[in-house]
Amino acid sequence: MSATGTINAGYLENLLAGQPQLPTSPLAWLNALRAEAVDRVGALTVPTLRDEEWRFTDISLLTKMSFHPVRTTISLQAADIEHFYIEEATTRLVFVDGVYAPQLSSGIAGSGVTVVNLEAGFTAHAATIEPYLGRLTEFRGNVFAALNTAFLHDAALIVVPRDISVTVPVHLLFIATQKDVVSYPRCLLLAESGSAVTVIEDYVSLQEDAYFTNAVAEIALLDNARVNHIRVQREGAKAFHIANCAVSLAHASNYQSVSVAFGARISRYNLNVQLAEEAECAVDGLALISGRQLADTHTCIDHAKPHAVSHQMHKCIVGGGAHAVFNGKIMVRQGAQRTDSRQSSRNLLLTNKAHVDTKPQLEIFADDVKCTHGATIGQLDSEEVFYLQSRGLSDTAARNMLTYAFGAEIIERIPISSLKCQLEQTVLEQTATQL
Amino acid sequence: MIYPDSKIVLEVRGLCATVNGTEILKGLDLTVRRGEVHAIMGPNGSGKSTFSKILAGHSAYEVTGGSVMFEGQNLFDLAPEERARAGVFLAFQYPIEIPGVINSQFLRLTYNTVQTHRGKEELDPLEFDDYVREKMKLLEMSPDFLERSVNEGFSGGEKKRNEILQMAMLDPRLAILDETDSGLDIDALRIVANGVNQLANKDNAIVLVTHYQRLLNYIVPDYVHVMEAGRIIKTGGKELALELESRGYDWVGVEHKAVAGAVA
């Protein structure tokens, strides 16, 4: 045990090494927040298989590698990254290895909607964001969120004022360009009462070597606000991606989220959603992995108040010797009567060596609720394959079509058509190469 | 319809097959020529559905003896998809539901795949749309079916109509209709039968596999075969079906045993 502790401490110290170089923020509370996060990193350890929340996900590979914060940023041209653009999303913030790239971004600032790098939002919004930034995420007990918070500097800030509906989707593009670099992407979205916005959180890479993305997103929906959150994790094949997202829904607000994970050697996504009275959320996910990839999704949907609705559909398509993990906790607290919660975990194994761990976890402390959940793990149905073959399709074409259809059910829930087509194409290509 | 000197489409000789080690077909003989409609009748468990699936190439069945020639070619040399491209079509007793695959995309992909292998032109989505809508009229199907997932949430009758629609698109040389009448109400049965009758011509052949005679009121067979214990034990004309309807199957077996006994 002590040996493990030492390795952990040294590892975390190394990760913290670049932290003192961060410029001091003009906001005292932000400096205090970072300092507290540094303390927490000192007190916490890197999780192992012995931790209940990590028992399926072995990240020892990550701790064997050394990553440093970005030293010199690479200057990219629009032409280098245009292929990542999403046609409909003309409002765009670009971060290169975690560093804000103003020349590639097209944010919005001013009296109305704010889509800027954090610093630029201080003048107008310092007081507004203080109750949320670093407060929605429970970084005190989470070493990766604490590390991210210790490095909190550049971040995407979106503030949508009361009763404003933003028609153009906002694209937050996080690009990895350097090997051995750890970056700390950060987002804060504040949707004020009655507002509506669609945000795409997109992780991509321009290189194939190992790097580490440690991201945190915080999303607050005030009364009656509506947020569409699309998360695309298409990191490089050797990347490590660990992300925490905390969402807080106030009265009668509505959060719709689709997250897809295609990339990274090891990825972990923790999503915590807290629902107030009459709030509604749909939390859907798709992991499509192969080779030696590991993709872990941990969600916690917390029905803290009565009359809230949550729907969740999570799918995994696992090829090669890959390993997918889904842990879906639904918490219905005492007094959260008339909760309506539906969860489904469906998993498709394409090979004999593919592996999935799925764990629906319902904790219900109220007595007048409607909660359903189900999990299936299976292979492609041979009768379905035969049916398609009997119509002239080859065995491969038949399998591709069925695998594609399995994943398309989640992709179709993305409300942006060009992104939907792009991702459907990815699913088609990935299934074609795997079979 | 029986045409003189018509070419043989399907020639089955002494076909034996097992599933999970159990012998289901025990020396089945059948000859089908172009233009003909054959009905294979028989009690449950006689091997009718097994025979249909073996013709289409289902991997759960193991052929242990005999031969099947399709248009002069050894059928067992062909993978299931190659049989489909060569002109074998099986209308399933229980068509599979495929959530997430839109019917129009599925129909177009199968149509174009088969066309390509037959050295014919593919159709682009617009051309295909016109073509499929025309064929759907044959089965009194609403165009809404094109936008739905394949067979998902279809009623029994809708699924069977979708099967015959695929038959219409793929233009087979040999169509095997496995219990196509099961689960159909009288209106759906009439529509499906009308569709099949319009698709029947002097160049193709149809094998109806059915338990009941009622389908044969609508699709009139040239030959009726009675199957029992993995073999065809009696062959007659359309009147045989009526006799089976009124007398049941037992007498055919008794008569067959008597004849077999006399020969021995």
Describe the strand order of the beta sheet including B61-70 as a list of residue ranges. Answer: B22-33, B8-19, B61-70, B73-74
Model pLDDT, residue A111: 60
Q: In A177-321, at which residue ranges do the beta strands (DSSP E only) sit?
A: 181-183, 186-191, 196-205, 212-221, 226-233, 240-249, 254-261, 266-275, 280-289, 294-303, 309-318
A391 and B57 within 8 Å at the Cβ level: the answer is no
Q: Which residues pair with A258 in a beta bridge?
A: A230, A284
* Angle between helical axes of A395-411 and A417-434 (0-180°, round to 10): 150
Cβ neighbours, 10 Å, residue B201: 12
Model pLDDT, residue A3: 43
| Nearest Cα residue to B177 out of B139, B149, B219, B217 | B219
Closest Cα in chain B, distance from residue A360 (Å): 24
Report yes or no on B56 lying in a domain: yes
Is pLDDT at B176 greater than 50 in this prediction? yes
Helix, strand, coil distribution of chain A in percent, nearest 5: 25, 35, 35
Q: pLDDT category, A142, cuts 50, 70, 90?
A: very high
B110 and A393 within 8 Å at the Cβ level: the answer is yes
Model pLDDT, residue A2: 39
- Rounded Cα–Cα distance for residues A362 and A360 (Å): 7
**Percent residues over pLDDT 70 in chain B:** 99
Is pLDDT at A182 greater than 90 in this prediction? yes
Maximum distance among all alpha carbons in chain B? 65
Tokens of A376: 């299936």
Report yes or no on B1 lying in a domain: no
Model pLDDT, residue B208: 97
Amino acid occupying residue B50: T
Long-range contacts, B66-69 (Cβ 8 Å, 24+)? B66/B12, B66/B13, B66/B14, B66/B15, B66/B16, B66/B25, B66/B27, B66/B28, B67/B11, B67/B12, B67/B13, B67/B14, B67/B15, B68/B10, B68/B11, B68/B12, B68/B13, B68/B15, B69/B8, B69/B10, B69/B11
At B111-129, the pLDDT tens digits run 999 999 999 999 999 999 9
Model pLDDT, residue A110: 65
A387 and B95 within 8 Å at the Cβ level: the answer is yes
A384 and B166 within 8 Å at the Cβ level: the answer is no
Q: Does A376 touch chain B (CB under 8 A)?
A: no
Q: pLDDT category, A433, cuts 50, 70, 90?
A: low
What pairing do the DSSP bridges indicate for beta strands A266-275 and A294-303? parallel
Pair A176, A236: CB distance under 8 Å: yes
Cα within 13 Å of Cα(B158), Cβ side: 17
Chain A, nearest residue to B114 by Cα: A392
Of the segments A386-395, A401-410, B100-109, which one has the largest average pLDDT value? A386-395
- Rounded Cα–Cα distance for residues B39 and B181 (Å): 12
- Rounded Cα–Cα distance for residues A324 and A407 (Å): 14
Is pLDDT at A62 greater than 60 in this prediction? yes
Report yes or no on B223 lying in a domain: yes
Kindly list the residues from chain A whose CB atom is less than 8 angstroms away from the CB atom of residue B56: 386, 390
Report yes or no on B21 lying in a domain: yes
Closest Cα in chain A, distance from residue B165 (Å): 12
- The three-class DSSP label of residue A416 is coil
Residue length, chain B? 264
Residue length, chain A? 435
Q: Which residues pair with A286 in a beta bridge?
A: A260, A315
Closest Cα in chain B, distance from residue A394 (Å): 6
Tokens of B170: 């793929």
Q: Name the average pLDDT for chain A.
A: 93
CATH number of B20's domain = 3.40.50.300
Structural domain span for residue B35: 8-263
Report yes or no on B2 lying in a domain: no
Model pLDDT, residue A4: 46
Q: Does A429 touch chain B (CB under 8 A)?
A: no
Q: pLDDT category, B4, cuts 50, 70, 90?
A: confident
Q: Does A404 touch chain B (CB under 8 A)?
A: yes
- The three-class DSSP label of residue A96 is strand
Listed by start position, the domains of chain A span 2-276, 382-435
Q: What's the 3-state SS for chain B?
A: CCCCCCCEEEEEEEEEEEECCEEEEEEEEEEEECCCEEEEECCCCCCHHHHHHHHHCCCCEEEEEEEEEECCEEHHHCCHHHHHHHCEEEECCCCCCEEEEEHHHHHHHHHHHHHHHCCCCCCCHHHHHHHHHHHHHHCCCCHHHHHCEECCCCCHHHHHHHHHHHHHHHCCCEEEEECCCCCCCHHHHHHHHHHHHHHCCCCCEEEEEECCCHHHHCCCCCEEEEEECCEEEEEECHHHHHHHHHHCCHHHHHHHHHHHHHHC
ipTM greater than 0.85: yes
B98 and A383 within 8 Å at the Cβ level: the answer is no
| Nearest Cα residue to B52 out of B33, B72, B28 | B28
Model pLDDT, residue B211: 86
Report yes or no on B32 lying in a domain: yes
Domains in chain B: how many in total? 1
Q: Which residues pair with A241 in a beta bridge?
A: A213, A267
Q: pLDDT category, A5, cuts 50, 70, 90?
A: very low
| Nearest Cα residue to A88 out of A253, A198, A196 | A198
- Rounded Cα–Cα distance for residues A362 and A372 (Å): 9
Model pLDDT, residue A107: 86
Model pLDDT, residue A109: 74
At B77-88, the pLDDT tens digits run 999 999 999 999
At B21-55, the pLDDT tens digits run 999 999 999 999 999 999 999 988 899 999 999 99
B84 and A391 within 8 Å at the Cβ level: the answer is yes
Q: Does A405 touch chain B (CB under 8 A)?
A: yes
CA angle A266, A271, A276 (to 5 degrees): 180
Pair A213, A235: CB distance under 8 Å: yes
A353: Cβ–Cβ under 8 A, 6 or more apart, which residues? A320, A321
Helix ranges (H only) for A18-98 are 28-43, 60-63, 78-81
B57 and A389 within 8 Å at the Cβ level: the answer is yes
Closest Cα in chain A, distance from residue B50 (Å): 14
Helix ranges (H only) for A264-357 are none
Kindly list the residues from chain A whose CB atom is less than 8 angstroms away from the CB atom of residue B110: 388, 391-393
In angstroms, the Cα distances linking A180 to A30, A208, A388 are 28, 11, 46
In angstroms, the Cα distances linking A85 to A183, A230, A413, A418 are 21, 14, 20, 10
In angstroms, the Cα distances linking B233 to A355, B8, B29, B229, B239 are 51, 21, 10, 9, 16
Kindly list the residues from chain B whose CB atom is less than 8 angstroms away from the CB atom of residue A410: none
Model pLDDT, residue A122: 86
- Rounded Cα–Cα distance for residues B148 and B100 (Å): 9
Place of tokens 């489904």: A344
- Rounded Cα–Cα distance for residues A198 and A180 (Å): 32
